[in-house]
């Protein structure tokens, strides 16, 4: 099975940056897998994360988030902060647990209200609530870094939306003077309304949204969303970079490593092997 090569926008887009971000997302997913193997300890002090051997990055401690599912407020490791040279990274993994699916389903919108951010419109309640549970840890870890010239945000699926709702906050509140901001967003759902999209599209950050055209997740929530309680509008943000890779299942088309990471590593032929 063959597919057309990827076409990329001009600089500051950089394929090496995009692939690096995707590789870091793989590390965030591997962190979650280690947490499962250790019996899902909800006390961060009881989780022993082992970063990959030989990695050229300096990693902070796992960043924990609270999915706030009904009466259950268990913590999960969701994010990492890393540094390599003058580049810092905030990395968010995607949906894994039943609690994460509950976050995804909270499609009603709430005002984007965080310190030093104005006119940011409305965003997905589930994504925003989860981000607020982990933002201070991300900000604290970023504040401990020195010599940073660029901050790159990245994530896959739910993680891409966490990176998106985090962008206005980190641009306004991260203690990183004279830093440029980029985002490489993998399979990101819609995250906010037109005002939120306008804020980011007109701001200083360069946001690249990498999408498999066969993947259903980037098409949710719908651009016009109605239920019994609300009527809301959603709009994508940033420059779309699309490829077509058909893996014969919803899960396969959305898979981070086999679909998205493979495409960035093989841009001339982004369709990878289809499982038999």
Q: What is the pLDDT of residues 196-224, one digit of tens each?
A: 999 999 989 999 999 999 999 999 998 99
Residue among 268, 276, 264, 275 nearest 16 (CA): 264
Given pLDDT bands bounded at 50, 70 and 90, which one contains residue 68?
low
pLDDT tens digit string along 246-274?
999 999 999 999 999 999 999 999 999 99
Domain ranges across the chain: 15-265
| Lowest mean pLDDT segment, chosen from 102-106, 111-115, 251-255 | 102-106
User: pTM for the whole thing?
Assistant: 0.95
Angle between helices 125-143 and 98-105 (to 10 degrees): 110
CB atoms within 10 A of CB 239: 15
Beta-strand runs (E) in the chain: 58-59, 63-66, 75-84, 87-92, 109-111, 122-124, 150-156, 180-186, 206-212, 224-226, 231-233, 239-243
Q: Thinking of the domain 15-265, which architecture would CATH place it in?
A: 3-Layer(aba) Sandwich (3.40)
Paired with 77 in beta bridges are 64
Rounded (10°) CA dihedral 97, 103, 106, 110:
180
Return d(Cα 244, Cα 242) in angstroms, integer.
7
Q: How many CA atoms lie within 13 A of 113 on its CB side?
A: 4
């Amino acid at each position: 099975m063959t597919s057309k090569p990827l076409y990329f926008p001009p600089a500051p887009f950089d394929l090496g940056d995009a692939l690096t971000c995707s590789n870091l997302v793989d590390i965030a997913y591997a962190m979650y897998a280690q947490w499962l193997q250790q019996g899902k300890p909800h006390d961060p002090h009881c989780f022993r994360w082992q970063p990959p051997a030989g990695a050229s990055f300096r990693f902070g401690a796992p960043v924990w988030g609270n999915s706030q599912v009904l009466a259950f407020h268990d913590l999960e490791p969701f994010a990492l902060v890393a540094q390599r040279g003058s580049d810092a990274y905030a990395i968010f993994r995607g949906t894994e647990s039943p609690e994460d699916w509950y976050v995804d389903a909270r499609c009603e919108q709430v005002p984007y209200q965080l310190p030093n951010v104005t006119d940011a419109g409305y965003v997905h309640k589930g994504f925003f609530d989860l981000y607020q549970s982990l933002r201070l840890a991300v900000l604290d870890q970023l504040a401990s870094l020195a010599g940073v010239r660029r901050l790159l945000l990245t994530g896959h699926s739910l993680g891409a939306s966490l990176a998106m709702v985090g962008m206005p906050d980190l641009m306004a509140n991260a203690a990183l003077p004279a830093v440029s901001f980029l985002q490489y967003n993998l399979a990101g759902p819609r995250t906010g309304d037109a005002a939120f999209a306008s804020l980011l599209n007109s701001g200083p950050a360069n946001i690249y949204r990498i999408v498999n055209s066969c993947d259903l997740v980037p098409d949710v929530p719908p651009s016009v969303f109605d239920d019994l309680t609300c009527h809301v509008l959603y709009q994508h943000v940033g420059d779309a970079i699309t490829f077509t890779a058909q893996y014969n299942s919803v899960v396969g088309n959305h898979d981070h490593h086999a679909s998205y990471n493979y495409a960035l590593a093989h841009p001339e032929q982004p369709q990878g092997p289809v499982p038999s």
